[in-house]
Structures are given as structure tokens and as C-alpha cells.
Amino acid sequence: MNSTSTSKRLWDAFWQLANPKVFMGWSGRWLPWLVGLTILFLGSGLIWGFFFTPDDTRQGSTVKIIYLHVPAALMAINGYLLMFVGSLVWLIRRQHVSVLAAKAAAPVGMTMTLIALATGAIWGQPMWGTYWVWDPRLTSFLILFLFYAGYIALWAAIEDDDTAADLTSVLALVGSVFALLSRYAVLFWSQGLHQGTTVNLADGAKQENISNVFFQPLFLSMAGFGLLFVTLLLIGTRTELRRRRLKVLQARERMQ
């Protein structure tokens, strides 16, 4: 009995954090710390990774692009996930902060997708002999980029804020289903075309058989990218909230 009331209180307190006023309070207090931590983790991870790790025997120094590529790819997917959750929460609970967070996540996630694609292409040229292969992973990321583009374009096209929030949320939900479907459809499609050697190479470079020498700075860099994502997300959400307040104030001024 007691535990249920405690969990209910925690539940309410959690949603209280999404109250715009409360949100502005805590996010404003946390933001400087987050910026500092981001610089610390990202800086140390990248500097360690770029200058204090040995070259790979096969890949030479090109292996070091992993410290940008993998964390960016991770954040690109997390960004879409956050967009999905934010849209769902908006449609169910009508929490303005959640849909504005989804809106703020889209450009950040899109940029991360672009970083992952670009660094992958730069690494691919010396390693695979080509900038671009129609490999399942690469293709899914390109499609992810298109989904981000559509979502952002729909936000930009609709004038009324609440209508835009509702329609983009519907798009994000349906889009997520189709993005997932595309992911598996692409696997199916590419099996019919390629022999999967390049895929194995990509998997080999990215997964378990990675030595700690490379993994430790990579981990720092991943944490740094995560912090960077959260920081940009909070800044974006705060900007959106302020823009809305400004709109209300301007409307009120015109009334007088």
C-alpha cells in the first residue's frame, strides 16, 4: 500500500519535470554542468583517440575515424528513438515539453546521421576503395536521413503550432513503423545483390574483436557524444519554449 503511493508520487514528480516552468528551472541549472561535462568527455576521448592510440596493423591511422563515426551513428538512432517517444508522449499526455524535445531532437539527429555517413565515406575510400556501397547499413542510414528530412519539413510547413505538433507526431509514429520495416527490407534486398564481404569487414571493425586500447577512448567519446546530444537537446527545447512564450507575449501585446 505504502509502496504504491510512493511510486505514484515518484510518477507524478517525474511528469512534474515536464511542466514548462519547472523544466526551464532545472534545465537552466543543469545546462552549464552538462556543457562542461560534454567538453571534458568529448575532448579527452577524441584527443586520447586521435593522438595517443597506436595505428591498426591493417587499417593504419584511418581506424581513428571510429571515434567520430560510431558515436555519431549511435546518436543518430537514439535521436530517432527520442523523437518517437516524445511524439507518443505528446499524443497521449499533451505535454508540450515532450513534443518540443522531439522537434529539437530532429535536426541534431539528422546532423549526427550526416556525420556518420560522411565519416563512413571518408573511411571507406581508402579501405573499401569506394566512398559509397549499397550495403544494408549504409542504405538504412541514408533512409533514416530522409525520414528526418520529411519530419523537419512538415514542422516547417505548418503555421499553427499545435496542429504542427499533432501532425508531425502522427508522422513520427507511422514513420517509425516504416523506418523499421525499411531496415529489414533493405537487409532482404541487399542479400539478393551482394556477397556480404564488406559487411563482415564493417562488423569486424565495429564489434567485439576490438582491443581495449581502442575501446577505452571510444567509450569516452561515446559518452561525450551522448552528453553533447543531451546538451543540444536541452538548448533546443529551451529555445522552442522561449519562442512560444514570445509568440504569446506578442499576441497579447497586439490585443491591448
Partner 1 sequence: MIQLFMRDIGLAVRSGGGFGLALIFFLIVVVLIPFALGPDQSALALVAPGVLWLGALLACLLSLDRIFGLDYEDGSLDLLASSPLPLESVYIAKAAAHWLTTGLPLALAAPLLGVLLNLSFDAGMALCFSLLLGTPALSLIGAFGATLTLGIKRGGLLLSLLVLPLYVPTLIFGAQAVRSASLGQPFDVPLVLILAISLGAVAILPFASGAALRINLR
118 sits near partner 1 (criterion: CB under 8 A): no
Backbone angles phi, psi at 194, to 5 degrees: -100, 165
Amino acid at 238: R
Amino acid at 157: A
Contact between 88 and partner 1 by CB under 8 A: the answer reads no
Q: Smaller CB distance to partner 1: residue 39 or 91?
A: 91
Number of residues interacting with partner 1: please give it, by CB under 8 A. Answer: 26
Question: Looking up cell 507526431, which residue turns up?
Answer: 169
* Nearest residue (CB) to partner 1, 164 versus 201: 164
Binding of partner 1 by 246 (CB under 8 A): no
Nearer to partner 1, 33 or 134 (CB): 134
- Please say which residue, 77 or 143, places its beta carbon nearer to partner 1: 143
Question: How far is Cα 227 from Cα 243, in angstroms, rounded to an integer?
Answer: 24
Q: Which of 18, 167, 210, 235 binds partner 1 (CB under 8 A)?
A: 167
For residue 153, state whether it binds partner 1 (rule: CB under 8 A): yes
CB 116 within 8 A of CB 69: yes
CA proximity to 237, closest of 33, 114, 86: 86
Compute the half-sphere exposure of residue 34: CA atoms within 13 Å on the CB side of its CA.
17
One residue of 13, 17, 149, 249 binding partner 1 per CB under 8 A: 149
Distant-in-sequence, close-in-space partners of 90: CB < 8 Å, separation ≥ 6: 96, 98, 99, 102, 165, 166, 169
Q: Are 20 and 97 in contact (CB under 8 A)?
A: yes
Using the rule CB under 8 A, which residue among 24, 47, 154, 210 binds partner 1? 154
Which 3-state string (H, E, C) describes 173-206?
A: HHHHHHHHHHHHHHHHHHHCCCCCHHHHHHHHHH
Q: Does 195 bind partner 1 (CB under 8 A)?
A: no
Q: Which is nearer to partner 1, 31 or 171 (CB)?
A: 171
Binding segment toward partner 1, per CB under 8 A, in 50-58, 101-109, 180-188, 235-243:
180-188
Residue in 189, 194, 206, 210 binding partner 1, rule: CB under 8 A:
189
Residue 161 is a binding residue for partner 1 (CB under 8 A): no
Our CB check for partner 1 shows the closer of 160 and 208 to be 160
> Out of 17, 92, 174, 213, which residue is the one contacting partner 1 (CB under 8 A)?
174
Smallest separation, CB 188 to partner 1 (Å): 7
Q: Does 92 bind partner 1 (CB under 8 A)?
A: no
Residues that bind partner 1 (CB under 8 A): 143, 146-147, 149-150, 153-154, 157-158, 163, 166-167, 170-171, 173-175, 177-178, 181-182, 185-186, 188-189, 192
